[in-house]
Amino acid sequence: MKYNKNSLIFKIALLSISTLLMIAPAVSSALPLLYPAFSGVSKASVEGLVTLPNIGIIFGLILSPILIKFLGQKKTVLSGLVLALISGTFPMYASNFMMIAISRLLLGVGIGLFNSLAVSLIPQFYNDDEEETASMLGFQNVMGALGTALASFVLSWLVTINWHMAFGIYLLIIPVFILFALFIPNDKANKTITKKAAPKNREKINSKLVVIWTVFFILFIFYMPISYKLPLLVTSEKLGSMSQYAALTGITGLCGIPLGASFGMFFKKLHDKIFPLGFLITALGFLLFGFATNLVMIFAGNIVLGFGAALAIPYLYNWISWAAPHGSVNLATTIALVLINIACSISPYILNSLSGLLGNSTPRFAMFICAAAFILLTVYGLGHYLRVHRVNIKAKQQL
């Protein structure tokens, strides 16, 4: 079928798979119902049901390039959606803990199959328009938050029924499957994409990609503490209750959507200045957490932090599309996502080790460590901007 990449329905279909990238841990709100349901299982193992998909995602990311060679990009996405749908909803009618744990692992594999394509398909369709690519990547960055917010609202109703029904949130995969199947062309339907996405030459990496992957890895090690240290800060410092914090987080997530969607506009005006600016704003967000004395400051820190991440992260994905050798964007994105998942997994160990070495293990001090890390990233980002700026000046002088 013919398609129009500039049509609204095409863009919605292309971005729809990004709404599912963060949906795996959304069921964590149902944990209080799962503890009594599996009273013979340790609390840590029950909580592991939330984190198991992250391990599966890594396997899915590794399998994705192999499936793409045999099935093509569209069919790989659809295969991942089907696997995620079946495994994600399996606990709706199952009660065996081990089988549910396996289904959670497979959910991650399914998401991993289309995780990198959610990003790399964008520059493939819009490779002739740098600003449109930047705008779409900005929207892509917030779609995960939108999907998580939608899942949270649905989950708030499903948990009133029983814990089995809580896993019904993964039925949200069905409309995404329909949209992607109907409005995204097969690989062969677009000769430009076929040539660029599946070249005869082997996919390659270069030194620029190694730098980008390193920045991604460091970024997520020190960004993830907002998920496991910030709630502890709120409760241990008696800044508010967990229910208040949960409500605040939901509101913050919705506020972050227009911030992330504005990436394209900021990119048009600031270009490479966005890189150090995003890190600096993120550092300010962590500083607000470190000095917080009430929930208002926590809310302000969340908004500031979200804005900084909404600038820095899409820029890095955009940088991958510029830096990757011809036909290697998907490989480069896949490696970045594998490293991101690894960074998220080891983040607590790294941060706790640093806190121990520095002699202060309080969650408030952890916020200052994260702020310091992002200040260092800001310095690097400023150096990157100055290098790019000098190259551009030389290029203009040679014209």
CATH number at residue 168: 1.20.1250.20
Indicate if 104 and 58 belong to the same structural domain: yes
- The per-residue pLDDT for 395 is 57
Q: Is residue 171 located within the same domain as residue 217?
A: no
How many domains does the chain divide into?
2
User: Does residue 163 share a domain with residue 225?
Assistant: no
Residue 391 has pLDDT above 90, yes or no: no
230 with 368, same domain: the answer is yes
**What is the per-residue pLDDT across 227-280, written as a single tens digit (0 to 9) for each?**
767 777 877 788 876 556 655 666 666 666 676 666 667 777 777 788 889 899
Is the CB of residue 266 less than 8 Å from the CB of residue 311?
yes
- Please check the confidence at residue 196 and state whether its pLDDT lies above 60: no
One domain for residues 261 and 356: yes
Q: How confident is the model at residue 2 (pLDDT cuts 50, 70, 90)?
A: low
The stretch 54-66 carries a mean pLDDT of 87
Tokens of 195: 């040539």
Quote the CA–CA distance of 149 and 137 in Å, as a whole number: 19
Task: For residue 279, tell me if it sits in a domain.
Answer: yes
Residue 133's domain comprises 1-189
Regarding whether 233 and 154 lie in a shared domain, the answer is no
**Weakest mean pLDDT among 45-54, 209-218, 295-304:** 45-54
Q: Which tokens hold the place of 3?
A: 């398609």
**In whole angstroms, what is the distance from residue 212 CA to residue 207 CA?**
9
Q: Which tokens sit at 296?
A: 């208002």
The pLDDT of residue 396 is: 58
Indicate the residue type of 15.
L
End-of-domain residue from the set 128, 157, 189: 189
Q: What is the pLDDT of residue 152?
A: 72
Domain boundary among 189, 220, 250: 189
Residue of 54, 26, 49 whose CA lies nearest to 37: 49
More confident residue, 207 or 96: 96
pLDDT of amino acid 194: 44
Q: Is 194 within a domain?
A: no
To the nearest whole number, what is the mean pLDDT of the chain? 82
Q: What confidence score (pLDDT) does residue 67 get?
A: 93
Average pLDDT over residues 125-144: 76
pTM score over 0.85: no
Range with the lowest mean pLDDT among 50-54, 314-318, 379-383? 50-54
Other CB atoms within a 10 A radius of the CB of residue 178 amount to 13
> Has residue 197 been placed in a domain?
no
- pLDDT exceeding 70 applies to what percent of the chain? 84
Taking 60 as the threshold, does the pLDDT of residue 201 lie above it?
no
Same domain as 177, residue 269 = no
Share of the chain above pLDDT 90, in %: 29
Q: Is 199 among the domain residues?
A: no
Say what the alpha-carbon torsion angle 239, 228, 355, 339 is, to the nearest 10 degrees.
-150
The answer on 255 and 154 residing in a single domain is no
pLDDT at 164: 93
Last residue of a domain, one of 189, 212, 231: 189
Structure tokens at 225: 């503490």
Higher pLDDT, 50 or 92: 92
245 and 300 together in one domain: yes
- The answer to the question of residue 198 being in a domain is no
- For residues 226 and 368, membership in a common domain is answered with yes
pLDDT mean over 77-101: 95
Q: Which comes out higher in pLDDT, residue 213 or 207?
A: 213
Query: What does the block give as tokens for 280?
Result: 């600096």
pLDDT of residue 200: 47
Across 17-21, 120-124, 394-398, least confident range = 394-398
Indicate whether 133 and 235 sit together in one domain.
no
Q: Is residue 196 part of a domain?
A: no
Considering the domain boundaries, does residue 32 fall inside one?
yes
- My answer on whether 258 and 165 are in the same domain is no
**Max avg pLDDT among 88-97, 186-195, 310-319:** 88-97
Residue environment code for 145-160, b if the CB has 16+ CB neighbours within 10 A, otherwise e: bbbbbebbebbeebbe
In a domain, 101, yes or no: yes
